[in-house]
Structure 1
Amino acid sequence: MSVHSLTAASASRTDPVRVLEEMKRLAVEQLGALPHALAQAVEKTLQSTAGGPSYEEQTALALLRQNGASHVMRFRQQIATGFDEFRGASSITGGDRLDLVGEQQLDLHLTGQRLSDMLEQRYQRPLEVMKQRLDAVASALGAHVGSNPVAPARLVSAFIETYAETGLPAAFNGVMFRQYQLALGRVLDELYVRINAMLATAGYGQDVNARRAAPQTTTPSTRAWLGEQVEARASAPPVRSAAPDGHGESAAPPVVSSRLVAELAGLRAQLHARRNPDAAAMHTGAPAPARPLPVRDVATIASVLQSEPPDAYARALAAPGRLSDAIRDQMLDGARRLGLGNDRVCLGEQEEDAIDLVSMLFESLFRTHALQDRARRLYARLVLPYVKVALAGDALFVQTQHPARRLLDAMTEACEDNDGSTPQDRELLERASAVSQRIVAEYHEDLAIFELAHAELEALLVQQRRRGELQESRAAKATFGRERLAQARASADAALDALLSRAPITAAVAEFLSAPWRHHLVQTLLRDGADCERVQQIHVLGDALVNADALAAQARGRDLADCLIALQPSIVQCLGSLGLDENAARHGLAMLVRDLATPDAERRTHAVVPLAGDEPANDDPRLCLAGGTATVPHDPGVAAMIRRLQPGEWMRLIDAQGEATSVKIAWVSPLTSRLLLVNRRGMRVLVAAPEELAAMVGAGRLMLGGERTPFSEAMLQLRQRLDHAVGQH
């Protein structure tokens, strides 16, 4: 290289101290949680052995749990120290010491050496590339070349130093090393790629000239990142995805649904049938067939683009049917920008299937669940990670407990019907947003990140479900209370109508019966029920007042006086139910006696005026929630099926604005058989009789038989959408 080239290369490099600090931050972030995950994996491994852990192993596990926080801190400090030593920030004093080494310590170091040799061999190529670039960093610092701070030997040494003083039994150390090997391998697969990319981007290594010669449509950081992805992924061994339970290779195989396998095969056939006409038209008159990109290159492109802003996908989610086009455009443009192809490359059938399935899945989630605009960018971030999961195989679509599937369910549960109106709702949205950002930053073929992200979000969702259950209970109690009130008022109105229609009476008696007497009867019905003695006494009082009015009309003053004296305690008690004190009640009694004392007062038949109800406004103006269901046009068979539904059953409701939302039967009224439907937050959405719901089914506004999980519901809608699309062809 010429002097001019060397000068230009040096000028284009980032400050080496800054580069090392960024490397240290990344290494500590990626590796720092290993002791915590290691303790959990060791415990699960020992619990799964025949007979469970021995007493000695239980004691060791207790020590791990007790000192977990200090182990994490010590391990992170060991990682950071490696970087400080590399740049000469800390020096080793005192010279070498010759100490006696115990047998257990010697065994630890020998086991560590074997692990270090194995990892050095496995990551030989990326480590060689990293060494050249770290040498350039050391030269820029003007220091002697130090050891790689993230080399396997250094990381194994950090592990030994962290647990050396714990006093764990020798047999236990073997399990620890095995789990550390599995956990470390999962992290290093991606960490080495990212560090090599970081160094190349900063200008250290042989990629400076290559980056300068790259097409100007791509930023230097993106080009360097792609070069490192292609180089490191081609040389590194195949990546094994971690099992959700942390057991690595010893984990039980996931359960695959044979029904879902068959359905997925049918979906793929429909996708091929739908794409073939478009593909034939696209290639008509083409000079040569396009070359499909290898699946590994497609996954690499997705990894590179994963961290870029998701604006294109967010816009596509707002326009149904556009997401798959946006993904293809971004992928092919990324291939051209990164030098993996030109205008004559295309995606293979497997990659096309993955993109179509993921795009239709995400679009179906927005169609079938009330996801707010605020959630659109959150989901847009997840598009490429889920494309990568789909590219890796069919597990996402055929395993009901797949980590990525469970995370998408949790994300939808957190975001559906969530407008951030309460502090709890805002906290849930913020946690969901942080989880999506974590997936973008940390997902690189290892599914364990989905499991960790799901656990992080699930902790907050448990609290939401509890609040939802309380909200459901309050909504059911409030609805039941309104129904009991309506029933009591209907019963009181019927009794009042019988009294008022018996004979013409004075306005004073009619007013007393219509107000305090009816109110007292309603309150007693609610409090004591229809069969109690007090209700009978109130009916006797009503009959007696009508008879007293007849005595007054006949000018039978003595009989009237005796009757009113006998009724005085009941009348005062009735007036008191309105909240009047004893003096006010007696004043009301005096006014009633005064009016009855005039034999020639006007008497007429009075009509019952219904009391104003407190039932909330109808959720749907076409529904009469208070009754009249016999006149609603409906399918009796559908109504009968709805009557058999139990609380917990899910449906899909289309509201007046055409928005779909998931609703659940929270409660069925024992009085009216009406169903209370709530959303995922436990909020009341609709209360209606089976006949009214059957009418909504007939109008296409209510779909029965909804799936219990958002992912399953979205896949159901995806199948229906494909059935319709293929049928049109």
Structure 2
Amino acid sequence: MTAKDPNNIVNISPELKEKLSQGKILPEIHKIYIRGLKPAIRDYYDKLDDSLFDLAEKAESNQLQNEYFTAMREVRKKKDLMVRKFSEHIQQVFKKFKAAKYNYFNKKSAPGVDTGDALSLVDESELDQELAVSNIIEKANTFLHQQLFAFEKRFTLLAAGHELKTHEIPVSPEVTVKSFTETFSHLNVSVTVELIMLKLFERSLIPNLTSPYQEINDFLIKEGIYPNLKFRVGRGGSAPQRMASQPPQDRDADHPQPDLPDYAGNDMTSANPSGAYVTDSHYEMINQFMNRRHIPQNMNIPVFEGNVVDNVLGVLQMEELQNLNSRQHSISPTEVKNELLNRLKSFDQNGEQKQIKQQDEDTIDLVGMLFQFLVEDRNLPHRIQALLGKLQIPYLHLALHDRKVLSNKDNPARKLLDNIAKASVGWTEEDDKKGKFINKIESMVQTILESEYTEIDFSGLIEDFSSFSEKNSKRMQVIEKRTSEKALGQERIMRAKEKTAHVLQKKMKNHSLPELVTELLLTPWANVLILAHLRHQNEPEKIDYYEKFVDKLIYVSVKEKKQMATNAQISHVVDHLSKGLRLVAFDEHSIKEKSKQLYQLLLEINQIEESKDETEHKFVLPQEAFNVAQDAEEKPEIVHFIANRSINDPDQQVEHLEDEHYEKAKAMQTGEWIEFVTEEDTENIRAKLSWISPISNKLLFVNSRGVKVTDKSLDELANDFRCGKANVLQQIPIFDRAMKAIATKMADKEEQEAAKPTDSAG
């Protein structure tokens, strides 16, 4: 240890010296560490079981499915053994540390084989595993570097002054990860499954190191081991080892520091390989407003260096990943700036005397406003808002190094958010019962949070999401087509019923008819007319043939007429009836029976034959025929249809007003989404205009699965707009809308400031 470093000066109390000499501190650290990790390891194996089951269900071949199911059985059988072996490996590491043997996982090379040659002979699957392990360790070291910096100092004292490297700390991420992989020797699974286990381990366990690390550091502080240790960031890089070795005088605020690198000048072409650049005019306006709001920055106050900001953003991103995995809420977009500043001050020894570069502060503010707009945007469902809100840190990190994220409309990072927001407009939990859509969004958010900002393949994510959306869209289109075809069929039936009802009401309204004739006209012949309107909608002469039969039947059926019908006329009507009944699938026996009854009735009415039983025939008035107040259950279907239309006619319920709301309804295009406002205790309904009826001009709305939600006339929809019961959901790209809203807000604020009266000089 170098005496010049003030952090290396520690007053060891007699009690601490005694505990160190008796070896009482190290066992306590071991207890804290194992106590913190064991539940996480058990939880990991529970999640592994679920993940392997999901993979087996989605497997593309029987062989792969069997492999996953076999692995599930193996893991279930040996879960307790694996947890125990993991604890034993950790215990061995602590024993080696106590014996000053810091090479915890030394692997012996094959005798007589040169290391360089051996590297080329390493099995590819083994290399994949080693790379996965290295990647986990590297990420953990980066995200936990503040805690590890303290461990290096404090464990050095426990190691009797031997200056430790990160991997030599007995609780380091390397020890954790490699102790875990050592347990693989007890499992009989494929390398593919082992790689899956490592990936899940990275997600579920590494975030759980934070709590035991904090507890261990708190314990060591309590024991008096470097209680006043401050984390310090060196100019040379972000690695903890480099931070610790940097001479303190180079970090003093009294010495001049180079300015921050100009992040805006960096063109990250890797994020935008196409080189397309479409400038956002609103961004330019916002830039101008922000430049005018600034007072000159004090050049004597040093600024936080780029690597310090990167380190802090890395830590915040890891915490956001933890929040995602543990289903915790994120801090609000407006609080991110304060959190970043507080962390910068605590990470940097001289942080209280430093400031953020003005240009970077503008970027932080603008990204905060963008994500505040996103999480308040009523066009996005709440759960989607919450998930996308977790991307503020990685997007901020990216924007600090490449402002094209904000200014270029074709930037892939920007387009990804636009695509997700557009696809999410119609999403509801009710329609996504299996969670396919929401899980896809969460998976993409997780991928971004797990990646360094320089390594995020936004173009690949866009392609993957487009492929996913396309499959969903095809399924929806099939159901949507069926829904619209069904609606069209129902519309045609409805229109045919309306025309039939109109014909029967018009022709029967002035006549009292025999009960049998009334029954025939309102039931079987009503069906004949409906069928004729459906089949011959473009052949009016054929429809006319069936409508004229009503006049003929009424003529031969009424008593009071100047000239009685002849036998030939009656036979013609009865024959016509028989042909019509065959159209609507009456059986021959029923047709003969009805024809015989009608023929006999008409002969008697027209006085061609006398009544055989001398009973008087019952006649029905038109108002009785169409009245459903009495004997409703026995009334024909067409009568009920007429009654319902007169009560529930939408054109009579909603007033027709040709105002801006009507024009808005009239301007609706298929594919547009609407949110229908429901009662307070129920979730609003999101629906897409799928089809406009060519018959009634009704608008058919479907959900995100293509299933009918409702249909509305133009007057009904206009009335919903008028009463605030429906709102059109914007499908303009969310970045464009956010930029426009921010620019408008800034312009209004500047105008208000300019309008304020200025105090005149006394």
**TM-score, structure 1 as length reference:** 0.58
Question: Which deviations, in whole Å up to 9, do the C-alpha atoms of 1:463-487 show, x marking residues without a partner?
Answer: 2212222233233223322332332
| Alpha-carbon shift at residue 211 of structure 1 (Å) | 11
- Distance in structure 2 (CA, Å) of the matches to 1:337 and 1:293: 12
Aligned mate of 2:523, from 511, 515, 534? 515
Superposition RMSD in Å:
6.6
| Alpha-carbon shift at residue 425 of structure 1 (Å) | 4.5
Change (3 A) 1:9 1:598: same
Corresponding residue number in structure 2 for 1:634: 659
- Distance in structure 2 (CA, Å) of the matches to 1:507 and 1:526: 28
Corresponding residue number in structure 1 for 2:278: 257
| Alpha-carbon shift at residue 330 of structure 1 (Å) | 2.9
- Distance in structure 2 (CA, Å) of the matches to 1:234 and 1:574: 96
For the residue of structure 2 that corresponds to 1:231, the secondary structure is coil
* Correspondence list, 1:129-278, <5 A: 213=226, 231-232=238-239, 252=273, 254-258=275-279, 260=280, 262-270=281-289
Is the CA contact 2:422–2:731 (under 8 Å) kept in the aligned structure 1? no
Question: Which deviations, in whole Å up to 9, do the C-alpha atoms of 1:627-658 show, x marking residues without a partner?
Answer: 8999323249946x955x7544x466563569
Change (3 A) 1:604 1:95: closer
For the residue of structure 2 that corresponds to 1:489, the secondary structure is helix
Aligned mate of 2:489, from 481, 495, 502? 481
Is the CA contact 1:678–1:685 (under 8 Å) kept in the aligned structure 2? yes
- Distance in structure 1 (CA, Å) of the matches to 2:275 and 2:722: 41
Unaligned runs of 5+ in 2: 1-9, 42-101, 122-140, 175-205, 244-259, 607-616, 628-637, 754-762
- Distance in structure 1 (CA, Å) of the matches to 2:495 and 2:696: 10
Change (3 A) 1:99 1:642: closer
| Alpha-carbon shift at residue 365 of structure 1 (Å) | 3.6
| Alpha-carbon shift at residue 669 of structure 1 (Å) | 3.2
- Distance in structure 2 (CA, Å) of the matches to 1:257 and 1:381: 27
| Alpha-carbon shift at residue 586 of structure 1 (Å) | 4.2
- Distance in structure 2 (CA, Å) of the matches to 1:466 and 1:229: 53
Change (3 A) 1:310 1:92: closer
Is the CA contact 1:370–1:661 (under 8 Å) kept in the aligned structure 2? no
Aligned mate of 2:468, from 443, 455, 460? 460
Corresponding residue number in structure 1 for 2:677: 655
Question: Which deviations, in whole Å up to 9, do the C-alpha atoms of 1:6-30 show, x marking residues without a partner?
Answer: 7688557669999xx99xx9xxxxx
Aligned mate of 2:111, from 92, 95, 112? 95
- Distance in structure 1 (CA, Å) of the matches to 2:288 and 2:591: 81
Change (3 A) 1:590 1:705: same
Aligned mate of 2:577, from 571, 577, 581? 571
Is the CA contact 1:496–1:608 (under 8 Å) kept in the aligned structure 2? no
Change (3 A) 1:423 1:667: closer
Corresponding residue number in structure 1 for 2:533: 525
| Alpha-carbon shift at residue 678 of structure 1 (Å) | 4.7
Output the amino acid matched with 1:669.
S
1:303 aligns with 2:314: yes
Is the CA contact 2:431–2:705 (under 8 Å) kept in the aligned structure 1? no
Change (3 A) 1:464 1:577: same
Is the CA contact 2:269–2:275 (under 8 Å) kept in the aligned structure 1? no
- Distance in structure 2 (CA, Å) of the matches to 1:202 and 1:225: 21
- Distance in structure 2 (CA, Å) of the matches to 1:437 and 1:225: 30
1:382 aligns with 2:391: yes
- Distance in structure 2 (CA, Å) of the matches to 1:228 and 1:375: 39
1:669 aligns with 2:693: yes
How many matched pairs?
578
Corresponding residue number in structure 2 for 1:327: 336
Change (3 A) 1:367 1:585: farther
Change (3 A) 1:249 1:452: closer
Is the CA contact 2:235–2:305 (under 8 Å) kept in the aligned structure 1? no
**TM-score, structure 2 as length reference:** 0.56
Change (3 A) 1:146 1:211: closer
For the residue of structure 1 that corresponds to 2:112, the secondary structure is coil
1:495 aligns with 2:495: no
- Distance in structure 2 (CA, Å) of the matches to 1:8 and 1:227: 34
Corresponding residue number in structure 2 for 1:429: 438
Is the CA contact 2:670–2:688 (under 8 Å) kept in the aligned structure 1? yes
- Distance in structure 2 (CA, Å) of the matches to 1:586 and 1:228: 105
| Alpha-carbon shift at residue 709 of structure 1 (Å) | 3.7
* Correspondence list, 1:540-689, <5 A: 540-550=548-558, 552-553=559-560, 559=566, 561-572=567-578, 574-575=580-581, 580-589=586-595, 592=598, 596=602, 597=604, 601-602=618-619, 604-606=621-623, 631-635=656-660, 638=663, 642=666, 647-648=670-671, 650=672, 653=675, 655-656=677-678, 665-678=689-702, 681-684=705-708, 687-688=711-712
Question: Which deviations, in whole Å up to 9, do the C-alpha atoms of 1:568-607 show, x marking residues without a partner?
Answer: 3543454566665443444444555566545775464448
Identity %: 16
Question: Which deviations, in whole Å up to 9, do the C-alpha atoms of 1:448-501 show, x marking residues without a partner?
Answer: 254454455444333221222223323322332233233222322332233124
| Alpha-carbon shift at residue 544 of structure 1 (Å) | 1.7
Change (3 A) 1:200 1:232: farther
Unaligned runs of 5+ in 1: 26-85, 106-124, 152-192, 281-288, 618-622
Is the CA contact 2:238–2:308 (under 8 Å) kept in the aligned structure 1? no
Output the amino acid matched with 2:400.
L
Is the CA contact 2:529–2:546 (under 8 Å) kept in the aligned structure 1? yes
